[in-house]
Chain A
Amino acid sequence: AQTVTQSQPEMSVQEAETVTLSCTYDTSESDYYLFWYKQPPSRQMILVIRQEAYKQQNATENRFSVNFQKAAKSFSLKISDSQLGDAAMYFCAYRSADNYGQNFVFGPGTRLSVLP
């Protein structure tokens, strides 16, 4: 079974600075997807970024980018120019790409605080 680990329960960053959230995962599969979801105080789960394992190029969405290291099974999220609205729980998630691997496996989350 796949597992996702986020070793940083809490992180803080100064407004306008850059922060990196760590995620590692364990799988024997070669084809899969990785995601970062954000959960602000409203509790809504919001997709931040997605990475397909077969793509070597790291995904980027505006101020959010990932460092995907497939061999190391590492998938970190970098938030540049942090804003107060970035404060939230961030969940790393894994999903198999095969027909029956429909389950999402979520990490325990990292609570990010943004300091003004």
Chain B
Amino acid sequence: DSGVTQTPKHLITATGQRVTLRCSPRSGDLSVYWYQQSLDQGLQFLIQYYNGEERAKGNILERFSAQQFPDLHSELNLSSLELGDSALYFCASSVDWGRTIQYFGAGTRLSVL
């Protein structure tokens, strides 16, 4: 167990809908990262937050947004969902903004029908 908690484990929804994925980092970790793993794109970095502030942005669509709350948990919001958004979404956390190891959660599997 990495100590990173992601909910829900599975999510099934329809095209055009909006969903929220939640991540609780390991105790003491200030950074949260979001990744998307799809069959055709591999594992892609989406966005990072450090202590409530956006730190780095990767291949995140405009339909997606994230935030990190004062208690350091993070939420990834996906809106106007398309079939191609079906993927495994991982959250990872690390102690600081850069040099330490990232620990991954178990992921949320999103199926858009």
Contacts and interface: CB of A to CB of B under 8 A. Distances in A.
Interface residues of B, number: 25
A102 B53 CA distance: 14
Contact of A43 (B35, B99, B106): B106
Contacts of A47: 101-103
A106 interface: yes
Interface in A29-54: 33, 37, 42-47, 50
Contacts of B2: 44, 46
B57 to A, nearest CB: 9
Contacts, number: 53
Interface of A is mostly: loop
A105 interface: yes
A47 B44 CA distance: 17
Interface of B is mostly: strand
Nearest to A44: B106
Q: How large is the interface on A (under 10, 10 to 19, 20 to 34, 35 or more residues)?
A: 20 to 34
Given A97-B98, A108-B42, A109-B42, A45 B56 contact: no
B99 A97 contact: yes
A111 B43 CA distance: 14
B102 A44 contact: no
Interface of B: 2, 31, 33, 35, 42-45, 48, 55-56, 58, 88, 90, 92, 97-99, 101-104, 106-107, 109
7 contacts: A45-B104, A47-B102, A103-B45, A104-B35, A104-B102, A106-B42, A106-B43
